[in-house]
Amino acid sequence: MKTLRLALAAALLTAGTLAANTAQAQAPLKIGYTSVQYILSQMPESKQIESSLKTYNDQLTAQMKSKVTDYQTKLDAYQKSANTMTDVVKADKEKELTGLQQSIQEFRGSAEQSLQQKQQGLLRPALDKLQKTIDDVATENGYTYVLNSDGDTPTLLHGPKDGDISEIVLKKMGITPTAPAPLKSGPTTTPNATPAAPASAAPSASKTKVKSKK
């Protein structure tokens, strides 16, 4: 989970700020780099984030296990008594089991999203703190750009506004933007990885003997 958290944090921290002043922009180009994963792992907030995320994940896991247990119990009862049930009762039981199965699948999806949102919320203060520190260090030490060295492709953590050539590229392509370019004022909140979901125990429809009536 710690590795996933750090990987997500590195993906989140991908934008610089507008803090670079004119004097810095005119100074000789100076590029620095850092490892977001390494810094986050050394921050005191790291252990608390990991602990809180684990607690939340355990809660979701417990809820999922309860749903699966309920489904399995009712499925076993259905299979044992199916031959003695009337068609009406059998159809009602099959409908109930199908509903429980769908509920489990829906919970798995919502649990993944909920865990992801929880992860982002826990990381946000640490990422904001890290971004501000990077901006301050870049300004104080004359770095024009600061890159994140994690991963195969370095990402921009700090840079002057006039370094953004997006509008020039669009103009060159003959494209008129329909919306203003996003401000690079800090880390984004869109993850590129999903934490391990607690719903992996959800039964597959192919493994049950319930026949859904069409």
Residue given tokens 């489990």 in the structure block: 104
**What is the gyration radius of the CA atoms in the chain, in angstroms?**
25
* pLDDT at residue 170, rounded to an integer: 67
Q: Is the pLDDT assigned to residue 177 strictly greater than 90?
A: no
CA atoms within 13 A on the CB side of 78: 21
202's tokens: 């959800």
Domain ranges, ordered by start, for the chain: 2-179
Q: Is the pLDDT assigned to residue 105 strictly greater than 60?
A: yes
Q: Is the pLDDT assigned to residue 63 strictly greater than 80?
A: yes
- Average pLDDT of 95-109? 95
Q: Please state, as a whole number, how many other Cβ atoms lie within 10 Å of the Cβ of residue 65.
A: 13
Q: Please state, as a whole number, how many other Cβ atoms lie within 10 Å of the Cβ of residue 89.
A: 13
The pTM assigned to this predicted structure is: 0.59
Q: Which helix (H) or strand (E) holds 155?
A: strand 155-158
